[in-house]
Structures are given as structure tokens and as C-alpha cells.
Structure 1
Amino acid sequence: MPSMAEQRPKLDEYLGQAFDRIPVAMIVVNQLGKITRLNQLAETTFGYSAAELIGRPVEVLIPARYRHAHPGYRQGFLAETNARPMGAGRDLSGLRKDGSEFPVEIGINPVQTGEGPMILSVILDLSERKLSEKRIQDALQQKELLLREVHHRVKNNLQVIHSLLDLQALKSSDSELIGMLRDSQNRVRSMSLIHQTLYQSQNFAQVDFQRFLGELLPRLTEAYGSMSGQVAIEINAHDVKLPINEAIPCGLIVNELVSNALKHGFPNQQRGKISVDIRQQGERQIELCISDDGQGIPPTLDLSRTSSLGLQLVQLLTQQLHGQLDIQRENPTRFSLSFQLGTAP
């Protein structure tokens, strides 16, 4: 049977072949920082032959601006002798023979040899990964720009419709028709504000409802000029953010119910308050409540058969949200809507 000494050359030869064929760049450096061995992929990665690198300082593979600090890092590692990533949390660069730099990730490991402790460096060329990340980032930026443009154009188109309704109202002397056109204007404005909020936001998936309500409700009181200063509006949005599929019907519901309260809840210059409260319960449950301390809803009014377009629209939008609407007629008048996120089409 061959002795251990006779077996070792074959074992070393086998390990050497594995070292050369491993699909990552590997370089062995001694205590003095001199390269003692590298595999084939390291030659390809850095553009040198093994003969050109063996015996040279490892700093030749590092951009000049980083070389002064590298010996200190190496000595610190030799003192610890624990395998670890090098430069964790920092972008590292390698230097090719042709002078070009490329992003790398390095793992360093202690190796005990007959010539003393050495450092085995495993180098990953991140060029392709960084290029892929840049492509993804560029695609995301293009998508973001496209979404901004889409929301901007939708908002502008809705504002055109708002202006056309305004022109139509100015040409009419029918007070009932003018009221209907003004109501339609308010609905269009509500949808336009949703898109304006998204356009101004950093997140196109979520509408900041606090911001939206802060824009919508003062404009509603302005639309009913006689109510300005007579009825106060309180907003409690609790930092709720809604996907656009839920934000638009919610915005229209708020528009309709606040408009109804302003038109019918405070006759004869009665003063009062309208409160809009929206909050999220758990991960998906949304609770929306619009209340006022006005004169209330007459008990003779059948809400399920009302001819009011606004209340019919509220009921249709509630169905669209797959929500539940509860109504309290007075002391205070309250519409409470609850629904689950992700159910609107």
C-alpha cells in the first residue's frame, strides 16, 4: 500500500485541479500581502496570467485610491483569523490589467499551510449584477414617469370636463339644472383630486387620504358659498392610505355625503359641524364615518327608495366596495361605511 507521503502528491494534484475549476475567482495571499496562487477564473477576471501575478503585492488588483488602507485591513484580518466578508456594507472595486475598474464582493478566509497562515480571497465580479440592477432601476423610473404622466393627463382631462360643466351652467337659467351640473362638477373635482394627490405623491399605489380630504372639503364649502363660515368641517384621517380602486369610490362617497349635509342639514343659517373620520382596523379593514349635527334625516324619507342621485350613488359605490353602510338619522346624523381592502374591482 502506498504511504501517506506517496499519496499526498496525487491529493495535492486533485485539489489543485478543483481549485482551478471552481466557478469563482480565488486568490491566495501570504502574510506579506504577496500573491502565491490564483485560479483560472481569477486570471480571466483580472486579465492577468498567473505568472504575471504570483509574487506581486495583492494591491496591484486594487484601485490606487484604496491601496494605502489595504495592508491595515489585511493585518487586522490575520489577527482575527475568522472567515468574513471584506468591506461589508461598502462598495468594493477591483482593478483589471487594462486599468478598468469593476464592482466586486470579496470573502476572505484563513488558510493554514506549511509556509504559515495565508489568506484565501474569494472574489465575485458584480458587473453583470450591477448592470441588471441598473436596468431594473431604469425600468422602474420609466414606469414611474409614465404613471406620473398618466395621472397628470387624467387630472387635466377631468378639469376640462369640470370647465365644460361650468360653461353649461352659466348658459342655463334653470336653477334645478344648474344645481345638478354643480353636483356633477363636484364629483369630477373629487376624482381629479385623487389623481392630483397621486401625481404629487412618491407612492403611486396609495392615495394619502388625509391630503386628499384636506384639498376636497374646503373646496366643497366654497362651492356652497352661503355655508362658508356657517358650518365647520373636521377631518380625522389617521394617516390612512388607500389603493386607487378604493380611493376613488371612497372619495366620491365623501363628496356626496358632505355635499348633502351642506345642502340639506343646516337650513335657515343654522350653524354646525360636519366630521369626516376614516381609519384602518388591522391590515385590511377600513372604517369611514361622515356625521353632522344638523337637523337630521326626516323619518318619512325612505332611504332605500330615495330619488336623490347622491344617495343612490352612495349605495352603488358601497356595493362596488363590497362594503356595509349603516345610517343613523339624527343626533348626530351619521353614515358609517366599513369595507375590506382589495375587494374593489
Structure 2
Amino acid sequence: MGRYVRFLFATIYFAFLFSGSAQSITGEEPNTLKEFQDINTPSGRFNVFFNSVNRYQEHSAYDWLDTVKIYLSNAQKTNDTIATRLYQVMQAQIYNDLGEYDKSTALAKELYFAKDSLDTESQKIVLDVLDDNYANLQLYDKQIEIRKQKREMGITENVAFYDIYSNLGLYRKARNQYIMEVKPTIADNDSYGLAKYHSKVGNYLRLDNSAPTALSELKKAKAYLDVYLNDISVQKSEAEIFESDLLKADIEGNIAKCHVMLGEYEQAIPLLKGSIEALEASPKNAHRNEIIENTLYLADANLQLERYSEAKKSLDVDFENIGILQSIKRNSLLAAYYDKVENYKNAAMYYKRNERIKDSLAQKQSSIIKQQLVTIVANEDLENSQRLIDEQKRINELARSEMKAKDERINLVFISLIFTLLGFAGLVYAYVKSIKNQRLIAEQNHIIENALIEKDSLLKEIHHRVKNNLQMVSSLLSLQTKNTRSKAAIEALEEGKSRVKAMALIHQKLYQNDDLSVIEMQGYIESLINSVQSVYKKGGHNISITIDAEGTELDIDRAIPFGLILNELVSNSFKYAFPENDENGKIYIHLRKNGDQGYFEYTDNGVGLPEDAEERAHSSMGIRLMNRLVNQLQSKLNIDRDNEGVRFWFNFS
């Protein structure tokens, strides 16, 4: 009997445990669609739909579409206009998430024309949906109109076009505009903003086939994101953590693509798999292209490593709404796969498919561009027609006024004739005189042009001679170095020699330029670094140096101080920043001049400045020289010792 009682109690106990664990398991996965259905108000459902972190985790977009259509039909039957608009906004977003851009555009345009009946949040969503649809449909002129409308409504202050440039394949132009518009808006302590910024710059560099530089930017973005995620002092919402995870997946996917481009396939594969898995949790349509791209790069990596079954598994994934360029890449990989497995019939079939797609793509792109041009011209013609109508109205008014005054003008005909003859005589006299003046001006212009040519030649000769004299000074310093036994004296002479070379290089660049007034700084900085490396033969050759000064030009009054400042900074990095090993050394130089304002930044990841750097600054000639040179530029030198290595920066005018 006691044995049966114990069995009964054990059965009840395990049943209780099972029911409790089942409840906890059920409670772990929230059902957003059920929450949406349980709410009774359209506005409440609207908030659940757009505020959910991942609304498609439990139920697909098609499930959501069917549910929203039911509520929309009920709202239309009861003539509830506000509810109808809210459900239509949700429906337009779902079509966009599904990649059905034509349906989404048609519905969003209907809402756009009735935007006065929508609240501000709904208007913003509709404009964002249209913006994304037009981008995917390659209707960039319409996309620009939507962005201008956003600015007029106060939704955004700036109309940015860098993503449109990227879609057109102008990656360098997109990167330059993105850096110019976004970099000044990010605070130095905004780790998440800096992560997004470097991720975007790195991706533009990758698309522009600059894989090594892109990899450096993307790793910098990942480092900033790690700082943000590990910062426990900042409270993060569930949505912010989710967005951070998606950004991390995006960055790691682009890092992996760079590894594939560089032939580092083993490093790329785990990053691509992790990125695909994380991005598949995103409800945003923007990540669909990234998933497709990562899957194709994964197939490429496995194909290169002769893992044919793994490659084929990736290529057999059935993607919805795959892009034309992605189809071309997929067909190329399939053709390469069948070549590898010696199925040449299938390989030829995919090669032929690509040829047909490329021909169709060329016609389609030509048609789209022609259609957009016709639209723009039509708008201009409409505006011109309106201006012509207004001008005709004004002419008609003037004609009526002239008819009323006709009788008064008849009496003045003879007087007008006399004045006309006098005026004609004056014009003849002026014409004759103007011919003489024109001849005189032509002669003077010829003299001035010859003088300018002679002046340019003399200036080039002067700069050439100054450069030669400075090189002679450098040679004298070299001779003095060989005759000196004091180590301190040799170092001082070498530093002086390096500074003289920096100034000589300025004059060399000037007499080699057609324009003697400015120096292109990207090429100058590269030449200067090569010059410094030649002085410090034992170091600096393994350091990765990134120069971001393309397109920046300075006059000689600013270029010489900059050359001397850079000479000091690079010399110090070569001598002191990497005392043990410089294989992982990195130097970043950034110089920009936008109108009257300029910005300079220099960083390295070396050992940094010593703790007594401020006391040494008073006795160090290099620091004192840099401070004086920065003062010449009417600025102040800033030094950051908190992060790894050291960072110098200042603004100038």
C-alpha cells in the first residue's frame, strides 16, 4: 500500500513539473500577431505593427497581409475612414517587405495624394515606403521628388543622394558625399554612430573594389560597435539591441566579402554563415539583398575551396525577388560549379542565360533612363508653358495700353525721328571708337598674356632653384652627420635634414604643377612619407598608412606648415610608436578643406605618449615646433591620449 502511495505522489510531482516547464516554454516566445489581434482599436494595432522588434519571427508577411486585409475590409464596410487609412499604411509596408514594389507603390501613392487625412507618423511611413520602392524600381527622379517632399514637410533637413549614387554604381562619389555630410554630425563619444559611419564608408570602398582599405574601415566599425555593446553605463532598449545585432551582422558580412575578394576563403565562411543567420531575423526589406549577396559569396568561397556540395546548397536557395545583377552572379557561379563537376551541358546553359539577361538589362536600363529623362523634360516644358502664358498676358496688357496712347504718340513721331537720326549718328561714332578700343584692348591683352607666361616661367624657375638650394642644405647636413660622432648631434641633424626635405618637396610640387598657387595634398603627403622612410631606414616599412586627403588643395602658406607638422608626426611614429614590432602598426592621416573651413587629424595605434608628456612638451623641440606651426594656421593643437596610441587634430581656416 505505501509503495502505491509513493508512486501516486511521484506521478503528481512530475506532472506539476511538466506543466510548469511547459508554461515557461510557452511564455518565452511572444506572439506579435496574436497581440495585434487581441487589441480592439486600429491605432493600437498600428502601434503594435510598427513598434514590434521582429513581427515576422512567428508569422510570415503573408499571414500578416491576410490579417490586415480582413480588418481593412471591415473598416471599409463601416465607412471608418481613419481605420481604413491606418490599415492601408500597414498594407503598403507589408507589400514593400515582400518585395512587391509595384503593389506597394500603387497603394502608397493613393495614400500620398490623401496625406492631409493622415497623421504625421503615417505620412512619414508612406514617404519612406515610396522612397524605398522607387529605389528598388530604379525610378531615381521620383525618389528625389519624394525626398524633397520630406524636406518641405520637415521630416528631414537634408536631401541626401549618396545612396542614389551608389545604386548607379558611382561608389566613390557616394562615399565622398557621405563623408562630407555625415562625418561632421557624429560626436567623438558616439560609438554607435561611428560604427554605422565606418561601416558605410567601408562598404562603399568594398563596392569600389578597394578590399584592403575597406577591411580596415569595417574592422574599425566593428571595434566601435563592440565598445557600444559593452558599455553598461548606457541603458539600451530591446529595439536598440536588436538594431545593434543587425548592424553587427551587416559589418561581419561585409568583412567576409572582403576576405573572399582577397582570396581568404576559410576566414570568410563562418562570418558569412553567422551574418546570414542574424539578418534572416530582420523584418526590414533592406536586409534581403544583403542575405542574397552573403549567400552568393558563401557559395563562391566553398566553390573555390572545392566544397562543391556546400556551394550547390547555397546556390539552390530559392530567393524571392532576386535582383538582375544577383541573378547574373548566381548563373555565373552555377556555370562554374557545373564546369568543376564536368557537366558542360548545364554550364553552357547558364552561360547562355547570362548573355540573355545582360542584353535585357542593357535595354531595360536604357528604357528606364529614357523614361526618367522624358518625365523631367515634360515637367520643364509644363513650367515653360506656364511662363509663356504669363508673358503673353503681360504683352496683351501692354498692347491695350499702347492702343489707348496711340493718338498722343502720333504728334511725337517727327520729334522721335529727329532723335533717332541723332542717336544713329551717335551709334556710328561709338562703333568706330569701340573698334579702336577693341584693338587697343587686344594689344594690351597680348602683352599681359606674354607677361603672365613669363611670370609663370620665372616662378617655376624660382621654386626649382629654392628646391635645389634646400637639397644642397640637406646634403650639407648629411656630410656633417658623417663627420659627427655624438649620437644626439646626429639625431638633431637627421631631424633637421628631414624638415628641410619636407620644405623642398613643397617647392618641387609647385614647379611641377601647372597651377603655381596651390598644391594637391594627397600626392604631397605620399611623397613626404616616402621621404621620411628614406631617412629612417630601420623602421616604418611594415606600418599600414591610410591617407584620406584626396581632392584637397592648399596654398604654399598653409602647405609648408602642414608639411613640417606631418614630418614631425610621422617621424615620431617611426621612431617611438612601435619600439618592439611595427608589423601591426597603423597610421591614419585625414585632411579636408571645405570652403573657408578645414580639418586635420593624425592617429597611430602605437604605445602612445609617455605619462610625463606634458612636462616634456616644454623641452621637446618637435612639440614646440608643431605648436608654433599650428599657431601660424590660427588654430590650436589638440592631443588625445585616452585611446590606444595617440591622436592629434585641429581645425584651421
TM over 0.5: yes
Q: CA deviation at 1:15?
A: 4.7
Q: CA deviation at 1:10?
A: 9.1
- In the superposition, relative to structure 1, how do residues 328 and 12 fare at CA in structure 2: closer, same or farther (>3 Å)? closer
Name structure 2 gaps, 5 residues minimum: 1-411
Q: Which residue of 1 aligns with 2:240?
A: none
Pairing 1:339–2:652 present: yes
Pairing 1:172–2:484 present: yes
- State how far apart, in whole Å, the 1-side matches of 2:448 and 2:489 are: 52
- In the superposition, relative to structure 1, how do residues 322 and 11 fare at CA in structure 2: closer, same or farther (>3 Å)? closer
Q: CA deviation at 1:289?
A: 1.1
Q: CA deviation at 1:13?
A: 6.8
DSSP-derived class of the 1:126 partner: helix
Pairing 1:297–2:609 present: yes
- How far does the alpha carbon of each residue in 1:154-203 deviate from its partner, in whole angstroms, 9 at most, with x for none? 11111110010011001112122111101000000000001111111121
- State how far apart, in whole Å, the 2-side matches of 1:270 and 1:228 are: 7
Give the structure with the larger strand fraction. Answer: 1
Q: Which residue of 2 aligns with 1:19?
A: 424
Q: CA deviation at 1:250?
A: 0.9
Q: CA deviation at 1:252?
A: 0.3
- State how far apart, in whole Å, the 2-side matches of 1:167 and 1:196 are: 23
The one of 543, 552, 563 equivalent to 1:240 is 552
Q: Which residue of 1 aligns with 2:590?
A: 277
- In the superposition, relative to structure 1, how do residues 303 and 232 fare at CA in structure 2: closer, same or farther (>3 Å)? farther
Contact 2:587–2:605 (CA under 8 A) maintained in structure 1: yes
Q: Equivalent residues in 2 for 1:1-345 (5 A)?
A: 15-16=420-421, 18-22=423-427, 23-25=429-431, 41=432, 126-271=438-583, 272-280=585-593, 282-302=594-614, 305-329=617-641, 330-340=643-653
- State how far apart, in whole Å, the 1-side matches of 2:597 and 2:558 are: 12
- In the superposition, relative to structure 1, how do residues 268 and 139 fare at CA in structure 2: closer, same or farther (>3 Å)? same
- In the superposition, relative to structure 1, how do residues 338 and 11 fare at CA in structure 2: closer, same or farther (>3 Å)? closer
Contact 2:546–2:587 (CA under 8 A) maintained in structure 1: yes
- In the superposition, relative to structure 1, how do residues 172 and 15 fare at CA in structure 2: closer, same or farther (>3 Å)? same
- How far does the alpha carbon of each residue in 1:240-289 deviate from its partner, in whole angstroms, 9 at most, with x for none? 11111111111100000110111110002333011211112x31111111
Q: CA deviation at 1:214?
A: 1.4
Number of aligned residue pairs: 242
- How far does the alpha carbon of each residue in 1:286-342 deviate from its partner, in whole angstroms, 9 at most, with x for none? 1111111111112232257442211111111111111121111241311112111xx
- State how far apart, in whole Å, the 2-side matches of 1:229 and 1:304 are: 28
- State how far apart, in whole Å, the 2-side matches of 1:229 and 1:252 are: 21
RCO greater where, 1 or 2, for CA within 8 Å and sep 6 or more?
A: 1
Q: Which residue of 1 aligns with 2:381?
A: none
- How far does the alpha carbon of each residue in 1:17-69 deviate from its partner, in whole angstroms, 9 at most, with x for none? 543343234xxxxxxxxxxxxxxx4xx99xxxxxxxxxxxxxxxxxxxxxxxx
DSSP-derived class of the 1:278 partner: strand
Name structure 1 gaps, 5 residues minimum: 1-6, 26-40, 46-103, 105-123, 341-345
- State how far apart, in whole Å, the 2-side matches of 1:175 and 1:321 are: 33
- State how far apart, in whole Å, the 2-side matches of 1:174 and 1:298 are: 25
Q: CA deviation at 1:129?
A: 2.5
Q: Which residue of 2 aligns with 1:34?
A: none
- State how far apart, in whole Å, the 2-side matches of 1:9 and 1:337 are: 75
DSSP-derived class of the 1:327 partner: strand
TM-score (norm 2): 0.35
One-letter amino acid of the structure 1 residue matched with residue 651 of structure 2: S
- State how far apart, in whole Å, the 1-side matches of 2:481 and 2:575 are: 18
Moved more, 131-140 or 145-154: 131-140
Contact 1:258–1:290 (CA under 8 A) maintained in structure 2: no
- State how far apart, in whole Å, the 2-side matches of 1:291 and 1:240 are: 19
Contact 1:197–1:211 (CA under 8 A) maintained in structure 2: no
Give the structure with the larger helix fraction. Answer: 2
Q: CA deviation at 1:131?
A: 1.6
RMSD over equivalenced CA pairs, Å: 2.7
One-letter amino acid of the structure 2 residue matched with residue 24 of structure 1: A
- In the superposition, relative to structure 1, how do residues 216 and 13 fare at CA in structure 2: closer, same or farther (>3 Å)? same
